[in-house]
Amino acid sequence: MSKKTRVTIKTVAADAGVSVSAVSKVLRNAYGVSESLRENVQASIAKLGYRPNTAARAMRGKTYTIGVLVSDLANPFVPDLIYGIREAAEGAGYRIMIGVGRADRANELDLANSMLDQQMDGLVLIGPHMSADEIMRFGVQMPTTCVAYHADEATSFDTINADDVRGARLAVDHLIAAGHQRISMVTLDQFKSPENHVYYHREQGYRASMSAAGLDQYIDVHHLSDPIRRTNDWAHKYLQSSDLPTAVFCWSDLDAIQLMSAARQIGKDLPQELSIVGFDNSSVGELLQLGLTSVSQSALDLGNVAAETLVSRINGRTSAVHTLLKTELVARTSVMTMTPS
């Protein structure tokens, strides 16, 4: 296209009948933009063939900074994951900047937009609560990689995950092999588009293993409503049930440890009265006092691969990559082998 006919942001604004700043807000995926404005501007972008991503990045060059957006830092698995990202990023000459979204979609959007405004070279989203469409809009503007977020059909961003279904099946199969039948699962509530989130895939693995063993009648899933601000109260209430299972599979070590703590506070003998398995194999679960059996997904490896994948996007790769890393069960003392009656 000749210089005279080159499409600019002003061309898009004129075609859409809006201001340049309005087009900029749509391009930045700014929070608060109405759907009608977004559709109007995107229609003009599609009609005119405007390419904001390429033009903007060509003008400014690299900043050698990567934004890392995490839902929360309470989960003991997350620091090791961030360390893995930083290790690989620094090895490639990039520094990282961390934002905490507090598992709030609007807050995540604001932080991601800020990272975009600061002209970072790429973005790593850890367990985001944004929709795939919202992440896609960031992906067309800057290289984006998601960790702990399943979106195998996405083309504008990459995903790096542990094999959550297989990991959950390893946990439940281990309990079944130890003689347990009444096995429950503790997981998060089903939010919008649950199929993108790891807890959904882990629940599918739990259900698959229970069904494969002919234990459908014992399938019992306890959903926690708040992903961030819950306390041990949920565990105490759960343990007050008059019909507790003999074993519980928790979607994360964080909740498994809370359940173990609450059980011991009320005098339960673990694992004789209740066997518990977690997911993450976090360093806290390794402590001898806990001895938590858990599914390992190697936080360091996930972080390394996420950063390496993002850097390859920054360096020009355009095809999407969706990677599943192997999971393993690490057996410790939190599971008791049942004696046949």
Mean pLDDT of 281-290: 83
Question: Per-residue DSSP letters for 141-198?
Answer: TS-EEEES---TT-SSSEEEEE-HHHHHHHHHHHHHHTT---EEEEEE---SSGGGSH
Q: Which of 21-25, 98-102, 277-281, 296-300 has the lowest mean pLDDT?
A: 21-25
Q: Average pLDDT for residues 6-34, to the nearest whole number?
A: 80
Q: What is the CATH number of domain 3-50?
A: 1.10.260.40
Q: Which CATH number fits domain 164-298: 2.100.10.30, 3.40.50.720, 3.30.70.1350, 3.40.50.2300?
A: 3.40.50.2300
Mean pLDDT, range 74-101, rounded to an integer = 92
Q: Has residue 50 got a pLDDT over 50?
A: yes
**pLDDT confidence of 117, banded at 50, 70, 90?**
confident
Where in the chain are all domains bearing CATH 3.40.50.2300? 62-161+299-325, 164-298
Torsional sign, CA 91, 94, 95, 101: negative
Tell me, what DSSP letter sits at residue 228? S
CATH class of the structural domain 62-161+299-325: alpha beta
* Type of residue numbered 284: V
> Higher model confidence: residue 106 or residue 95?
95
pLDDT reported for residue 57: 47
- Residue 182 has a pLDDT of 97
pTM for the model: 0.81
Q: Is the pLDDT of residue 108 over 70?
A: yes
Cα gap 75→253, rounded to integer Å: 8
**pLDDT in the model for residue 229:** 58
- Alpha-carbon distances of 312 from 52, 65, 81, 120, 211, rounded to whole Å: 20, 14, 19, 15, 41
What span, in angstroms and rounded, lies between the C-alpha atoms of 203 and 168? 7
Average pLDDT of the chain to the nearest whole number = 88
The pLDDT score that the predictor gives to residue 1 is 40
- More confident: 185 or 49: 185
All CATH 1.10.260.40 domain ranges of the chain, comma separated, are 3-50
Judge whether residue 4 has pLDDT over 60.
no
Identity of the highest mean pLDDT range in 42-46, 107-111, 266-270: 266-270
pLDDT in tens, 164-186: 999 999 999 999 999 999 999 99
Compute the distance between CA of residue 259 and CA of residue 236 in angstroms, rounded to an integer. Answer: 8
Q: Determine contact, residues 180/247, Cβ cutoff 8 Å.
A: yes
Is pLDDT at 125 greater than 90 in this prediction? yes
User: What is the per-residue DSSP string for 59-107?
Assistant: HH----EEEEEES-S-STHHHHHHHHHHHHHHHTT-EEEEEE-TT-HHH
Strands 158-162 and 322-325: parallel
pLDDT of residue 202 exceeding 90: yes
Give the span between the Cα atoms of 153 and 95, in whole angstroms: 29
> Which residues make Cβ contacts (< 8 Å) with residue 62, sequence separation at least 6?
121, 314
Summarize pLDDT for 224-264 with one digit per residue, the tens.
876 655 666 889 999 998 889 999 999 999 999 999 999 99
pLDDT of 54 strictly over 60: no
Round to whole Å and give the CA distance between 202 and 195.
10
Confidence of residue 212 (pLDDT cuts 50, 70, 90): very high
Residue in 66, 61, 56 with CA at minimum distance from that of residue 89: 66
- Tell me if residue 294 falls in helix, strand or coil: strand
